Amino acid sequence: MAVTPSSLNQLIEALRVLPGVGPKSATRMAYHLLQRDQGGAVNLAHALEYAIATLKHCRHCNTFTEAEVCDICADEQRDHSKLCVVEMPTDLMMVEQTLAFHGLYFVLMGRLSPLDGIGPKDIALERLLTRASDGEVQEVVLATNFTVEGEATAHYLSEMLRARGLSVSRIARGLPVGGELEHVDPGTLAQALVERRHL
Amino acid sequence: MAVAKKPRRKALADTPRVDAQPALVLHQQPYRETSRLLDVFSRDHGRVAIVARGAQRPGSQARAVLLGFQPLLLSWFGAGELKTLHAAEWQGGIAQLAGLPLLCGFYLNELLQRLLPRDAPNPPLFAAYFEAIQALSLLPREPGAEVEPILRRFELALLSSLGYAPDWRITAEGQAVQPRQRYGFEPGSGLTPSGTRAGCPGEALLALAAGSLEPQWLLQVKPLMRQMIASLIGANPLHTRQLLIDLQRL
């Protein structure tokens, strides 16, 4: 019986840390890298090593950055009285693309998920509290996802921040921009009716 | 709205199929590249594990339908332990939970995940769960909302439908429960007279035995329920209970 060399085995095992990659996919990836794309494999190894060595969390907003403080937090032009809380760095990028928010951010790097055993101690709540209580922040905007976990996180954060006298708001939910009632899904429309606002 | 997807395999006549089954999603997580793994509580088939193919794709219509605490009509097929979702239809009628009622909803889901075995149909418990979610959705979001009677009613339904509830009129030693005595719960034996003030008054137990689920009695059985549930779930504590405790400490 042919024995897989140990370095190959090690590579396959290492690839399995990726989400959604089982032993079969890991084996396929390993053979592809070694057989078809050795240059790519070297690049990947360097990029991983470089990222691990240089990336850290921004001292203010907790997102990934190479400097002590990220570019957004270091920008003096931004509105320091508003703090937008998001789950992940990708969410921050999306909000940033809207050009509708000029304040600063805080990235939780996760969400509360009681059924997965992810509690308040597993996300950066303590750091958010310190950040939001700096005296400059007037309003905290909660922009966690509108999933049940995101909503639970928003509730927990609002209780926590309001207990310290901070003003808290939540981004709105409802019909998409340009949405027609005829084509929107009934769950969204139902919630838009529940959360209708007075004019 | 129906999110229908043709099964990729040939539709085999003998593949078990379930059509338009009333159900709620207890929990969901990403599965493989673009799918989601659902833990579903259905009326006639109990807790079922179902894969929703493609539900994790951006723009998937299933995303807006497969929400927790929302009544759905689910259709699935498959002979194995893991079923494949065929269609999901949103039924409506229950506003999405938020605030404290939402966290309580998670507590109910965790209880079900921990105590209700897979593929064991339990229509009375499904009805109790549905009622509890509906009642939670009608509460205001502020703390102090009347969640306690709803939780106790569901815990009682859960314990009795799974066969864990003792006879509320008789102690472990076979004596009749006295209205003025207080009682605790001893795992493995049953109700025992309790000397401390923390025990549950006998009159509340007798009211439960008579089928009275009035809030005044339900509020009294909380310590007893806690002891009974703690003895069932074992060493791993409930995450949602810890979360509610943390929240109260803020």
pLDDT of residue A127: 92
Q: Quick one: B156 and B82 in the same domain?
A: no
Please report which confidence band the pLDDT of residue B141 belongs to, taking 50, 70 and 90 as the band edges. low
Say if residues B163 and B122 touch (Cβ distance below 8 Å): no
- Min Cα separation A181/chain B (Å): 13
- Distance CA(B81)–CA(B22), nearest Å, equals 19
Of A114, A159, A186, the CB nearest to B239: A114
- ipTM comes to 0.84
To the nearest whole number, what is the mean pLDDT of chain A?
Answer: 92
Q: Quick one: B200 and B156 in the same domain?
A: yes
Residues of B (125-184) whose Cβ lies below 8 Å from A: 141, 143
Cα separations (Å) of A187 from A190, A191, B23, B66?
5, 6, 16, 10
Q: Quick one: B85 and B126 in the same domain?
A: no
Q: Quick one: B147 and B44 in the same domain?
A: no
Q: Look at residues B221, B245, B216, B202 and name the one whose alpha carbon lies nearest to residue B156.
A: B221
User: Is B200 domain-assigned?
Assistant: yes
**Using one digit for the tens of pLDDT, what is the confidence trace for A140-152?**
999 999 999 999 9
Measured between beta carbons, the chain B residues lying within 8 angstroms of A114 are 103, 106-107, 110, 239-240, 243
Q: Quick one: B136 and B32 in the same domain?
A: no
Q: Is the pLDDT score of A85 beyond 90?
A: yes
- pLDDT-above-70 percentage for chain A: 99
Q: Quick one: B187 and B241 in the same domain?
A: yes
Q: Give the DSSP letter string of B100-118.
A: HHHHHHHHHHHHHHHHSPB
**Using one digit for the tens of pLDDT, what is the confidence trace for A157-191?**
999 999 999 999 999 999 989 989 998 888 889 99
Of chain B, the end-to-end C-alpha distance in Å amounts to: 41
Q: Is the pLDDT score of B66 beyond 70?
A: yes
User: Is B8 domain-assigned?
Assistant: no
Q: Quick one: B139 and B68 in the same domain?
A: no
Q: Is the pLDDT score of B2 beyond 60?
A: no
pLDDT of residue B114: 94
Do strands A79-86 and A103-107 pair parallel, antiparallel, or not at all (unpaired)? Answer: parallel
The CATH number of residue B76's host domain is 2.40.50.140
Q: Which residue of B has its CA nearest to A161?
A: B250
Q: Look at residues B66, B26, B27, B20 and name the one whose alpha carbon lies nearest to residue B44.
A: B20
Of B26, B92, B141, the CB nearest to A190: B92
The CATH number of residue B130's host domain is 1.20.1440.120
H and E: helices and strands count for chain B? 8, 8
User: Is B41 domain-assigned?
Assistant: yes
- Distance CA(B166)–CA(B111), nearest Å, equals 19
Q: Quick one: B109 and B166 in the same domain?
A: yes
Q: Which of A134-138, B21-25, B88-92, B245-249 has the lowest mean pLDDT?
A: B245-249
Inter-chain contact A148–B102, Cβ cutoff 8 Å?
A: yes
Q: Which residue of B has its CA nearest to A150?
A: B98
Chain A and chain B share a number of CB contacts under 8 A equal to 78
Q: Is the pLDDT score of B13 beyond 80?
A: no
Q: Quick one: B104 and B22 in the same domain?
A: no
Q: Which of A93-102, A104-113, B71-80, B241-250 has the lowest mean pLDDT?
A: B241-250
Please report which confidence band the pLDDT of residue B7 belongs to, taking 50, 70 and 90 as the band edges. low
Residue B132, domain extent: 99-249
User: Is B1 domain-assigned?
Assistant: no
Q: Which residue of A has its CA nearest to B111?
A: A115
Q: Which of A122-126, B25-29, B196-200 has the lowest mean pLDDT?
A: B196-200
- Distance CA(A41)–CA(B207), nearest Å, equals 71
- Distance CA(B4)–CA(A28), nearest Å, equals 32
Task: Report CA B34 to chain centroid distance, whole Å.
Answer: 28
Q: Quick one: B78 and B169 in the same domain?
A: no
Average pLDDT for B207-211: 85
Of A148, A185, A194, the CB nearest to B1: A185
**How many domains does chain B fold into?**
2
User: Is B2 domain-assigned?
Assistant: no
Cα separations (Å) of B222 from A27, A63, B65, B128, B215?
53, 43, 35, 18, 11
End residue of a domain, out of B72, B90, B108:
B90
B71 touches chain A (CB under 8 A): no
Q: Which residue has the tokens 């229908």?
A: B4
User: Is B39 domain-assigned?
Assistant: yes
Task: Give backbone dihedrals phi and psi of B51, rounded to 5 degrees, phi first.
Answer: -95, 130
Please report which confidence band the pLDDT of residue B199 belongs to, taking 50, 70 and 90 as the band edges. confident
**Using one digit for the tens of pLDDT, what is the confidence trace for A35-83?**
999 999 999 999 999 999 999 999 999 999 999 999 999 999 999 999 9
CA dihedral sign of residues B19, B25, B27, B30? positive
pLDDT of residue B223: 85
pLDDT of residue B11: 53
Inter-chain contact A148–B97, Cβ cutoff 8 Å?
A: yes
Say if residues A140 and A132 touch (Cβ distance below 8 Å): yes
Q: Quick one: B85 and B104 in the same domain?
A: no
pLDDT of residue B155: 94
**Using one digit for the tens of pLDDT, what is the confidence trace for B143-192?**
666 888 999 999 999 999 998 888 888 888 888 888 888 888 888 788 88
User: Is B3 domain-assigned?
Assistant: no
Q: Quick one: B38 and B161 in the same domain?
A: no
Structure tokens that stand for A172 in this block: 């709105």
Q: Which residue of B has its CA nearest to A147?
A: B67
User: Is B7 domain-assigned?
Assistant: no
**Using one digit for the tens of pLDDT, what is the confidence trace for B101-137?**
999 999 999 999 999 999 999 999 999 999 999 999 9
